[in-house]
Structure 1
Amino acid sequence: MKITEVEAVEVTVPIEAPLRFAYGVHLAFTRTLVKMHTDEGYVGLGETAASKEQVERLSRPILGQNPFDLEVIRNIISNRFYWSREPLTASALEMAAIDVIGKATGQPAYRLLGGALRPHIEMAAYCFYRYPSEDGTRPGVTTPEEMAEHAADLVERRGFRTVKLKGGVLPAADEVATMEALRERLGPDIRLRLDPQSAWTVETAVELAPRLERVGLEYYEDPVAGMASMATVRERTRLAMSTNMCVTSFQELGPAKQIGAIDVVLTDPWYWGGPTQVHTLDTVARTIGIGVSMHSGIELGIGMAVMAHTGVAMPGLTAAVDAHYHHLLDDVIAGDMLLPEKGVLQPPEGPGWGVELDEAKVAKYAELHASGTYRNVYVEGNTVGPDPYRPHWFPIIPAW
């Protein structure tokens, strides 16, 4: 079997309301869908934040390769030169190749990754400060009381047992007050996480840690930037420290362990280079005494299926998985959206990732993307700034 073509389509899908984070605002979710065509008629699906141009340009050297040869494909993409790792493209191509393999063998992707150790992954409610929706049907979420009500609604509707707050948006003390309100509203049995996105100084993170200890966090995610600063905070709090910012490669894992920077590394199938790399990370991290969780890549349905299949095959993934997915108003996959029920998500059954595209929706959201109605803050420059509700504002990190 040979890869004959790699097709990429950029789509933008609406979300319930604008989501605020330390570096700007998500007005909608923009992703690049990847289709890997083969000479035997199989078409594998992937998804990434890399642009259409990046995917199509970087995939040209793998044309003619066998999609079963995952390490060969990775080597071609990631070792063109010593700086050419390209994880966002390599991951999407690996996802598509695994989907081809699953379709060719009639096997679900989780079996190709070693088998399902659990029937499902647990999911976390991913809470953001929000601006009101354009149509006025969903209010803004800014105060501690509003966030507590928003989180309680998600817990009630979807059965989440873990709630994560995306911080780095409001003054640090206000966000700690929000965590206190969440604990009071949700009770002692819901696990809580806080992610200030490295927007705090070491002094701020240390000063506020006692209040967060009283709240009780599952982990304290990236309050500060860099391994050294994370290690300093970790020395001065009882809270477990986690990251998806200061450790994003295997080369960084050892140094982080040596200086005591983290307790938990947050992986995902994109930034680490693909599902097989995430599986390897699970083994390596557990071997050196670091826990593993999984954070969100701002996924659509293909990505959500990848996370579910990958997650059930990871021995060390017992923590709930972060996902932006429940903020979407629609998706590009055929059939129902992959929303959690009772706080968990089962991998879609079927060969490969178990999902197919709804081509009408792909066309609809490709057109929306091309219209320029929404801007992707990750890949597009915008002189207005990354938050249209605050013209000409730009992030300064640390902010508090």
Structure 2
Amino acid sequence: MRIREITVTPVAFRDPPLLNASGVHEPWALRSVVEVVTDEGVTGLGETYGDLAHLERLHSAAQLLIGIEVHAHHALYAAVATSVGGNVVSDQHGLTGAGSQQKTVDAVFSPFEVACLDIRGKAAGLRVADLLGGPVRDAVPYSAYLFYKWAAHPGAEPDRFGEALDPDGIVAQARLFIEEHGFGSIKLKGGVLPPDREIEAVLALRDAFPGLPLRLDPNAAWTPETSVRVGKALAGVLEYLEDPTPGIDGMAEVARQVPMPLATNMCVVTHDHLPPAVAAGAIGVLLTDHHYWGGLLRSSHVASLCGTFGIELSMHSNSHLGISLAAMTHLAAATPDLTHACDTHTPWQDGQDVVVPGALRFTGGAVPVPEGPGLGVELDRDALARMHQQYLDCGIRRRDDTAYMRTFSSDFVPKRAHW
């Protein structure tokens, strides 16, 4: 089967005012939906970022993919690398580590690879998880992903999630997510308030939900010294501490002095980062993300490599829709060494999606592997058209949490090794 046609559709969906070290989420989140059609009329789906620069790279790559076999993984990757060219570093929003040429190629390639795996699964009557070696779990556990947040975007009506700017608000948010989705672990996005106040929030979560694994992710907002202090203060409380400070060297310094593993999706974001991180003992947990690790196959290879060096695994999330959730679930289901529940923003999308309801659901905090062939999800054409119109109307073409925050707080500075 050869690729006959590719359609890339940018979409926008409503996003709450979630706070982080770089600022605050804008009212609209951007994504791109990729449809790959073969000469036999089989269609596969992929999903990726929606920033304008990334969209332009997707369109350039799509032109070179026409006519290539959907099974020809290496030829597809080479065509994408050619389309990207040299000395290109994509925008990474400040929350997913430094950009690089390799990371840019992998991010452009990922949605096309997922779509081709979707096609291959449909043609063979197999799930994508089967193509990745077969599922080792029937359902993939996800974690409640908590954020400090405003009650509403300025000038808008309060959203149903409510304000969360103190420990009581964070606990209430966790309780809502656990009641609705059954999550069995909790992650707090930190780097927003001074570290001692975020310690208080974690301790409040421990007291409210005894026995549930807890994580804290300040997105490298702390110095190594502060990271060590916080790590020692939360000894026996955190499952892991994620990206407390910038860089492999800084993480290694902290890792030597704190009692819990350090996790990352910032200091190790491409294959080239693994050797120095392993040598320095910088991380104990890698949060993979197929959107910038080069798709599902390359992510599975990274997972195997991490197992060799004793690095545990979880999965990173950004604001995403159902195609991504399906791909994440298939990958996680077929990854034997996955040792921690995965991140997901899905609850924050509050039912907004481009896939037909029913194939994806949370049961006891986990998403069962979709039963249909390929990814097991179907595109909702009406929802796609509506979200594309929202993209055209919203006026946002690049995610910029910092610029949006500065419209309300002109002196705001992104927090990197700030405290």
- Range class of TM-score, shorter chain: over 0.9
Matched, 1:332 2:354: yes
1:136-188 deviation line (CA, Å, top 9, x unaligned) = 2432110011101211221222111110001111112111111111111111x
> Residue 89 of structure 1 corresponds to which residue in structure 2?
108
Correspondence 1:127-276 to 2 at 5 A: 127-133=146-152, 134-138=156-160, 139-187=162-210, 189-214=211-236, 216-276=237-297
> Could you tell me which of 312, 317, 324 is aligned with 2:338?
317
* Secondary structure of 2:188's aligned partner: strand
How far apart, CA to CA, are the structure 2 residues paired with 1:288 and 1:93? Answer: 30
Q: Does 1:355 align with 2:354?
A: no
46-55 or 164-173, which deviates more: 46-55
CA contact (8 A) 1:234 1:241 kept: yes
Structure 2 partner of 1:395: 414
> How far did residue 135 of structure 1 move?
2.3
Letter in 2 for 1:362: L
1:299 corresponds to 2:320? yes
Counterpart CA distance in 1 for 2:346 and 2:28 is: 11
Q: Is the 8 A contact 2:144 2:187 kept in 1?
A: yes
User: What residue identity is the alignment partner of 1:5?
Assistant: E
CA distance in 2, matches of 1:297, 1:290: 22
Q: Structure 1 residue 75: deviation in Å?
A: 2.1
CA contact (8 A) 1:24 1:377 kept: no
Aligned to 2:22: 23
Q: Distance in 2 between matches of 1:396 and 1:264?
A: 23
- Equivalent-residue separation in structure 2 for 1:2 and 1:161 (angstroms): 43
Residue 387 of structure 1 and its aligned partner are, at CA, apart by 5.3
Counterparts in 2 of 1:385 and 1:14: CA distance versus 1, 3 Å: closer
State the match for 1:75 in structure 2. Answer: 78
Deviates more, 1:22-31 or 1:235-244: 22-31
Q: Which residue of 2 aligns with 1:57?
A: 60
- Change over 3 Å in CA distance of 1:337–1:128 after alignment to 2: farther
CA contact (8 A) 2:28 2:394 kept: no
Query: For residue 380 of structure 2, what is the amino acid of its counterpart?
Result: D
Q: Deviations over 1:339-374 (max 9, x none)?
A: 412111112111110111111111111111111255
1:288 aligns with 2:309: yes
TM-score by length of 2: 0.90
Conserved in 2, the CA contact under 8 Å of 1:194 and 1:219?
Answer: yes
Give distance in 2, aligned partners of 1:130 and 1:387.
Answer: 16
TM superposition score normalised by structure 1: 0.94
Amino acid at match of 1:352: G
Are the aligned partners of 2:288 and 2:315 in contact in 1 as well (CA < 8 Å)?
Answer: yes
- Report the residue type matching 1:145 in the other structure: D
Q: Which runs of 5+ in 1 are unaligned?
A: none
Q: Distance in 2 between matches of 1:386 and 1:93?
A: 33
Q: Check 1:277–1:387 CA distance in 2 against 1; reply closer, same or farther (3 A cut).
A: farther
Letter in 2 for 1:89: V
Structure 1 residues 247 and 137, CA gap change in structure 2 (3 angstroms): closer
Letter in 2 for 1:106: G
Q: Which segment drifts farther, 158-167 or 46-55?
A: 46-55
Of 201-210 and 390-399, more deviation after overlay is shown by 390-399
Instruction: Give per-residue Cα distances to partners, 1:99-154, cap 9 Å, x unaligned.
Output: 11112212111111111111011110000111113322432110011101211221
AA of the residue aligned to 1:60: Q
Kindly indicate whether the alpha-carbon contact (under 8 Å) linking 2:29 and 2:399 is maintained by their aligned counterparts in 1.
Answer: no
**8 Å contact 1:326–1:339 — kept in the other structure?**
no
| Secondary structure at the counterpart of residue 145 of structure 2 | strand
For residue 368 of structure 2, what is the amino acid of its counterpart?
A: Q
Q: Please name the residue that 2:34 is paired with.
A: 34
Counterpart contact for 2:128–2:375, Cα < 8 Å: yes
Structure 2 counterpart SS, 1:248: coil
Q: CA RMSD in A?
A: 1.9
Aligned-residue offset at 1:29: 2.5
In structure 2, what residue type is equivalent to 1:203?
A: E
Shift in Å at residue 65 of structure 1? Answer: 0.3
Asked if the contact 1:18–1:28 (Cα under 8 Å) also holds between the matched residues in 2, the reply is no
Instruction: Tell me how far apart the structure 1 counterparts of residues 142 and 241 of structure 2 sit (CA, whole Å).
Output: 18
| Structure 1 letter corresponding to 2:181 | R
CA distance in 2, matches of 1:23, 1:177: 21
Corresponding residue of 2:95 = none
CA distance in 2 between partners of 1:241 and 1:10 (Å): 35
**Amino acid of the structure 1 residue aligned with 2:229:** E
